[in-house]
Structures are given as structure tokens and as C-alpha cells.
């Protein structure tokens, strides 16, 4: 069964969503992210994907208090990302209660730092985000394209021991037009042992079932939940049935 991982994206301590990573296309869904996290927990959700968009933009962790609040007042397993750039910031994130640190651009720019964290904390404490545009990795809040092929990138990190890997197709994110099934199939054919986490484009429960069918280990869902395309009842029924 595929694991459902709701996303809470943070700007100014509020729960928001962007469309295709564009800060000017921002919708505030809830002023209180803890409320949202508690709702998810009440449904039987076990995991939460918490993204510090202020931190991603600034290059240092900003919304630490929200992480502390959710970690201390729920039992959710939280992966937290956005602005984790050095030893001090990853330490803060773990101390604030994150179970996993989500790393994106740093894995491209300074892979040695990432690999040192894998050695220090263990691969189970790291979650790697592979953001993709036309099958190449994009970094810097999706503003910068690279010529690094996504499959090569995932392979390098997988062989370094990182198994928590999610892949977001930027062209799909926030548009509710369905996930990149073909891309995910391609990645999992190349690395069959990988329990890939899909992210971006999920618009309804049918998409979740499709991702389950092709063998994804998890799915990160944001906008579809907040826009009511996937209802809390549907989530609850799916979790209870599995």
C-alpha cells in the first residue's frame, strides 16, 4: 500500500500553497498549521511533509517554531525541508523534532556535505528531493535548471545509501493535472529497489491508486487536499481500508 504524506508549506508561519513554485501565486489555506496537522493525524495519517518556503528562499531555516509546535503536539513523523544548508541548521531541525531532514539543492551543489550527514545521522534521517524539469534536475527553488539527468542523480544518491527519495515534476506541481506516471515508471525501472515517493500533480484518489499500481512507495499530496479534490473522508476511508 502506498503511504499518503500530506504536505504543509509554510510562509510567515501560515499554511500556504504555491503554483509551480511561484511565490507570487500564493494561496493561504490556514493561519494555523498545527490545526491542519492535527486534522491529518486524526484521520490516521502517520507522516507529514513540512516545507519552510521562507527558509528555501532565504537559504536558512525560518519556520522552526512551527516545526517545534507540530512535533511536540502530534505523533506525526515529520520530514522538514527548506533552508537546511549547514551542520548548524540540520542540528536545529532535528532538535526541533523533525524525524527526517529534506535536502534538495545542497545535494547538487555540495554533495559531500549531504554524504557526511548520511554518515553522521544515518540514511534513515535524510530525505532527498529531486526536482525535475524535462527529466533534468532543477535547483534553487526551481529557478535554476541543470543538465543533470534525474535518473543519474537518483542513482548516485541511492548508491550512497539514501533510500528516502521523492521526485517532483515541476511542470505538474500545483496544477492538479495528474502526476508524472511515465517519469516515475522510468525511474523505478532503472532502480527497481527504490521505494520512490511521488510528488506533484496529484488531483484525486484515482491518481493515488495509479501511483500505487506502478509501485511508488509514497505520495506527497498538497493542493488536492486543500482545494477539496481529495476530501478528508476519502483519505480516512483509504487509510482504514488499508
What's the rounded mean pLDDT across residues 170-189? 88
Residue 21 predicted with pLDDT over 80: no
Could you tell me the three cell numbers for 56? 528555501
Annotated active-site positions, please? Answer: 9, 131
Tally the domains of the chain.
Answer: 1
Under the banding of pLDDT at 50, 70 and 90, the label for residue 151 is very high
52: β partners: 10
Q: State whether residue 2 is helix, strand or coil.
A: coil
**What is the reported pTM?**
0.94
For 40-45, the CB contacts below 8 A with 24+ separation are 40/6, 40/76, 41/74, 41/75, 41/76, 43/232, 43/235, 43/236, 43/239, 44/236, 44/239, 44/240, 45/4, 45/5, 45/6, 45/76, 45/235, 45/239
Nearest of 189, 81, 203 to residue 130 by alpha carbon: 81
Cα(208)–Cα(137) distance, integer angstroms: 24
Under the banding of pLDDT at 50, 70 and 90, the label for residue 196 is very high
Structural domain boundaries, residue 10? 3-241
More confident residue, 87 or 26: 87
| pLDDT given at position 214 | 96
- 189: number of Cβ within 10 Å: 11
Residue 22 predicted with pLDDT over 90: no
Q: What CATH number does the domain containing 21 carry?
A: 3.20.20.70
| pLDDT given at position 146 | 92
Residue 183 near residue 236, CB atoms below 8 Å: no
pLDDT digits (tens, 9 = 90+) for 131-145: 998 899 988 655 678
Amino acid at each position: 500500500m502506498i503511504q499518503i504524506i500530506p504536505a504543509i508549506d509554510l510562509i510567515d508561519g501560515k499554511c500556504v500553497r504555491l503554483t509551480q513554485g511561484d511565490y507570487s501565486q500564493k494561496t493561504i489555506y490556514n493561519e494555523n498549521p498545527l490545526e491542519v496537522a492535527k486534522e491529518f493525524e486524526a484521520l490516521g495519517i502517520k507522516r507529514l511533509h513540512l516545507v519552510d518556503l521562507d527558509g528555501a528562499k532565504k537559504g536558512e531555516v525560518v519556520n522552526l517554531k512551527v516545526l517545534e509546535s507540530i512535533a511536540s503536539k502530534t505523533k506525526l513523523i515529520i520530514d522538514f525541508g527548506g533552508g537546511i544548508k549547514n551542520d548548524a541548521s540540520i542540528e536545529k531541525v532535528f532538535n526541533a523534532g523533525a524525524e527526517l531532514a529534506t535536502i534538495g539543492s545542497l545535494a547538487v551543489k555540495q554533495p559531500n556535505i549531504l554524504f557526511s550527514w548520511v554518515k553522521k545521522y544515518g540514511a534513515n534521517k535524510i530525505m532527498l528531493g529531486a526536482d525535475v524539469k524535462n527529466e533534468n534536475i532543477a535547483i534553487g527553488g526551481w529557478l535554476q535548471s541543470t543538465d543533470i539527468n534525474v535518473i543519474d542523480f537518483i542513482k548516485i544518491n541511492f548508491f550512497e545509501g539514501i533510500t528516502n527519495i521523492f521526485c517532483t515534476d515541476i511542470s505538474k506541481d500545483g496544477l492538479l493535472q495528474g502526476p508524472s506516471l511515465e517519469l516515475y515508471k522510468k525511474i523505478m525501472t532503472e532502480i527497481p529497489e527504490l521505494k520512490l515517493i511521488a510528488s506533484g500533480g496529484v488531483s484525486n484518489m484515482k491518481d493515488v491508486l495509479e501511483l500505487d499500481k506502478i509501485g511508488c512507495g509514497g505520495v506527497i499530496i498538497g493542493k488536492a487536499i486543500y482545494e477539496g479534490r481529495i476530501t478528508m473522508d476519502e483519505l480516512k476511508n483509504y487509510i482504514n481500508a488499508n
